[in-house]
Each structure stands twice: as C-alpha cells, then as structure tokens.
C-alpha cells in the first residue's frame, strides 16, 4: 500500500509542489486502527502505521524533488543517490540525538502547557482513538461543530475569492486563523509582530518589501528554530536566563496578583 501511495504523492508533488504525506498518514490511522480494533491495541497500530506511511510517502516526494533539481542543474544521478544514502544515515543518528537533547533539556515535552507541547501528537492520538472507537468517543456536539466550521471556512474562502480586491484584503484566511489553535499562542504573537513589520516596511519601501520580505521572514523563522539547540544546551548546563516572560490567563493572572499582594503585606 505504501509504495503505491508514495508514487501518487511523488507525482502530485511534481505537479503542484504540495505534499499530501500527512493526509496519507491519517488514512493509514483510520484504516489500520479500525482493522486492528480496540482489543488488539488499535490506537498503537494506527499510529505506527501512520508513522511508517508518512515516512515512506514523504521520502518519496523529497527524493523526486531532489532528483528533479539535480536534473535541472546537470548533477550526476550517482552523486545524488550517494548523497541521499549519506543523508539518510546521518538522519538515523542525528534525529534520535536531537530528540534526546530536547527530552533531557525541556522536561514535559509533549505535555500541554509546556514550552514544547507537541500539539500534533495529541491530534494524531485523538484521530487514532476516533478510528478505533468511532464518533461515539467525540465530545457532545463536536461533530456538529466540525461540520459547521468546515462549511463556514469554505464560505469565507468563496467570499474572499469573489469579493473585490479592496474588500477581500480585510477578510481573514481561515487556514491562517486555524494555525495558532494548533500550535499555540506564541506562534500567533510572532506572526502578528512579523505582519506589523511587513506592513510598515511596505509603507516605507514597497518594492524592497516585495523583493526581500519572504527572504527576511524565512531567515527569522530559521533563526528561531536554530536557537532551540543552544537553548537546549544551556538548559542542560542549568544556565538560568536573567529575565523570563510568560503569558497567563486572566484567572491565573488574578491569582498571581493576589499572591504578590499577600507577600507585600507580610513583608510590611
């Protein structure tokens, strides 16, 4: 099943530059999870099948893109293949090491509320449970809300496409609105600050912003990702930052303020 879907994904990526590896992985969750059933650890079977499926399908698309780039640059196919083998071998070592580094440096990886909650892990686990137990495991009105928001997202996209340009620019993109719900509030704050910077840049020098905006944004995103490795090393060495900022809910903020006030009264 995986080789056939890998060919389909590679073909689709070649046409659209859009990989559907996650979609094929979700398909594997439902198919194999339902096939194994609850009595045979269907959740674990579905997640394992999803991981294998996504790895095979995604790797096939990546290989196709690399070989296409090599063909366009007149690179040696043998050199490309050897490079892929070396890169795969390095990934087998570097990947687990990076995971171990994060696991040791940041306690509670994958737990909601921590610095790295791994939101997609919870999403895929819930999909596996759904594939094994069916819609009966969903909270009340969950399926209805999913259908309503699905139709609403399509309606907003249609309105945005048919509306005049001056009006469409003020209509939000549903996909962009949904991303912070998956990843967390910190991502929304970063995107907001980046959007403000781009807005000011376009007002000051629009041709320059159009030419270099994507490059600057990519550099900032890569820099944010690369910094996590030194951050993990500093955490392992028990180096504490001089200042820490955290966003709390209104209820938690009231509790913290009350604690500070009580502490000040005790000191006085």
The pLDDT tens digits along the chain (268 residues) read 778 888 888 887 877 777 888 888 888 888 888 888 888 888 889 899 988 888 888 888 888 888 888 888 888 888 888 888 898 899 889 888 888 877 777 777 777 767 677 777 888 888 888 888 877 777 788 888 889 988 998 999 899 889 888 888 888 888 777 777 766 666 677 778 888 998 999 999 989 988 898 888 888 888 877 777 787 777 777 777 777 777 777 788 788 888 877 777 766 6
Tell me the chain's radius of gyration from C-alpha atoms. 23
How many CA atoms does the CB half-sphere of 228 hold within 13 Å?
Answer: 13
User: Residue 171 sits in which domain range?
Assistant: 141-181
Distance CA 20, CA 5 (A): 10
Distance CA 175, CA 149 (A): 12
Do 176 and 191 fall within a single domain? no
Of 147, 132, 149, residue with least CA distance to 31: 132
113 touches 249 (CB < 8 A):
no
Residue 148's pLDDT is: 93
Distance CA 15, CA 171 (A): 29
pLDDT, the chain, mean: 82
Do 221 and 173 fall within a single domain? no
Do 71 and 203 fall within a single domain? no
Residue given tokens 């790895």 in the structure block: 55
Do 124 and 23 fall within a single domain? yes
Do 203 and 159 fall within a single domain? no
Residue 201's pLDDT is: 92
Do 158 and 195 fall within a single domain? no
Threshold 0.85, pTM exceeds: no
Residue 183's pLDDT is: 66
Do 126 and 147 fall within a single domain? no
Residue 267's pLDDT is: 64
Residue 22's pLDDT is: 84
**Burial environment of residue 24 by CB neighbours within 10 A (0 to 12, 13 to 18, 19 or more):** buried
Do 36 and 134 fall within a single domain? yes
- Alpha helix stretches (DSSP H) within 184-249: 185-204, 206-236
Do 27 and 99 fall within a single domain? yes
Residue 90's pLDDT is: 92
Residue 151's pLDDT is: 93
Do 169 and 191 fall within a single domain? no
Do 10 and 62 fall within a single domain? yes
Distance CA 21, CA 10 (A): 10
Do 126 and 177 fall within a single domain? no
Residue 136's pLDDT is: 76
Q: What domain count does the chain have?
A: 3
């Amino acid at each position: 099943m995986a080789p056939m879907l890998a060919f389909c994904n590679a073909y689709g990526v070649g046409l659209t530059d859009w990989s559907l590896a996650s979609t094929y992985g979700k398909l594997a969750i439902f198919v194999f999870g339902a096939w194994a059933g609850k009595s045979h650890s269907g959740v674990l079977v579905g997640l394992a099948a999803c991981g294998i499926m996504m790895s095979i399908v995604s790797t096939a698309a990546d290989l196709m893109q690399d070989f296409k780039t090599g063909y366009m640059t007149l690179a040696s196919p043998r050199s490309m293949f050897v490079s892929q083998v070396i890169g795969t071998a390095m990934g087998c070592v570097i990947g687990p090491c990076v995971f171990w580094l994060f696991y040791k440096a940041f306690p509670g990886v994958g737990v909601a509320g921590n610095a790295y909650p791994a939101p997609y892990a919870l999403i895929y686990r819930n999909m596996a449970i759904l594939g094994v137990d069916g819609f009966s495991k969903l909270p009340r009105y969950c399926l209805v809300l999913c259908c309503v928001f699905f139709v609403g997202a399509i309606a907003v996209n249609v309105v945005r496409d048919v509306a005049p340009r001056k009006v469409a620019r003020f209509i939000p993109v549903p996909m962009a609105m949904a991303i912070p719900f998956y990843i967390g509030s910190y991502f929304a704050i970063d995107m907001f600050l980046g959007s403000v910077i781009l807005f000011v840049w376009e007002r000051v020098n629009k041709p320059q912003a159009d030419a270099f905006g994507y490059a600057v944004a990519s550099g900032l995103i890569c820099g944010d990702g690369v910094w996590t490795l030194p951050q993990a090393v500093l955490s392992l060495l028990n180096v504490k930052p001089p200042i820490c900022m955290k966003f709390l809910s209104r209820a938690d903020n009231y509790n913290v303020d009350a604690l500070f006030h009580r502490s000040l009264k005790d000191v006085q």
